[in-house]
Amino acid sequence: MSKLTLDRILQTQGFGTRKWCRELIADGDVSINGETVTDYRSAFETDGLEFSVFDEAHRYREHLYIVLNKPADYECSRKPSHHPGVLSLLPEQFALRDVQPVGRLDHDTTGMLLMSDDGAFIHAQSSPRRHIPKIYVATTHDPVTPELVAHLLGGVKLHDEPAPLAAISCEMLGTHQLEIVLEQGKYHQVKRMLAAAGNHCSALCRSQIGGLKLDALGLAEGEWCYLNDEQLSLLTAAHP
């Protein structure tokens, strides 16, 4: 556990500069356990600390681990160019905490997107050495055939890749839909693999990372939630 002054607590949680946080406190806009605190030098244990800013409740978090159900036409970039960035779907203070996407989804790809301000977590989740499976549901332009599934499982050769890339598993979900499990996380990998196998991806959704399923979180598109310890542990679970 650690004990911090109130201005430092607000600053670490993304509410602005130390000076701005002191002004918030002096103006009576911050409360602890329902009581307004106006002395920025007041110190509190951060473990489990709950506080309010402008009557909105918050809990102190050393790091943020969240999952967003990404809608289409949002870019996974802190400096988007053609579409709004995914950070615009989150509270403003998250950007001040340097929250960033863990990996990227194309602007037209939907589904599970992890985001954090913990550099070690981001690196671990992004590292190909961890072999974390990611599950996608792809809608295809042409019908899904057993030959297509076999081709994706057997491996397809992509431009600029030294060896063929194969799906960990692949199964048909409907006449124009399949579930594909990958570990590599190459650029546009699902779309490029489908194209190399003779089909075309018309829609793509990431439905699961490790053992954590998007459906189990109950998030509508554009919604997000914090991840608890149990959910974080599921992220490294192998695909059955």
Is it true that domain 65-128+212-234 has CATH number 3.30.70.580?
yes
The one catalytic residue among 106, 117, 215, 229: 106
Question: Is pLDDT at 51 greater than 80 in this prediction?
Answer: yes
Q: Within its chain, how far is the Cα of 64 from the centroid? A: 11
User: Which is the CATH superfamily of the domain at 133-209?
Assistant: Alpha-L RNA-binding motif (3.30.70.1560)
Using alpha carbons, list the distances in angstroms from residue 28 to 5, 34, 55, 144, 166: 16, 12, 10, 61, 59
Q: Rounded CA gap, 209 and 204, in Å?
A: 15
CA distance 240 to 169: 10
Please indicate whether residue 118 is annotated as part of the active site. Answer: no
CATH architecture label of 3-59: Roll (3.10)
Residue ranges per domain, the chain?
3-59, 65-128+212-234, 133-209
Residue matched to tokens 């189990």 = 216
3-state DSSP of 209-221: ECCEEHHHHCCCC
Domains 3-59 and 65-128+212-234 share a fold: no
Q: What is the pLDDT of residue 237?
A: 66
CA pair distance 144, 139, nearest whole angstrom = 9
Positive or negative, the Cα torsion across 186, 188, 189, 190?
Answer: positive
Residues 10-40 pLDDT 10s: 999 999 999 999 999 999 999 998 899 999 9
What does the mean pLDDT of the chain come to? 92
Neighbouring CB atoms inside 10 A of 218's CB total: 9
pLDDT at position 239 = 54
Mind listing the pLDDT tens digit for each residue in 177-230? Answer: 999 999 877 788 999 999 999 999 999 999 999 999 999 999 999 999 999 999
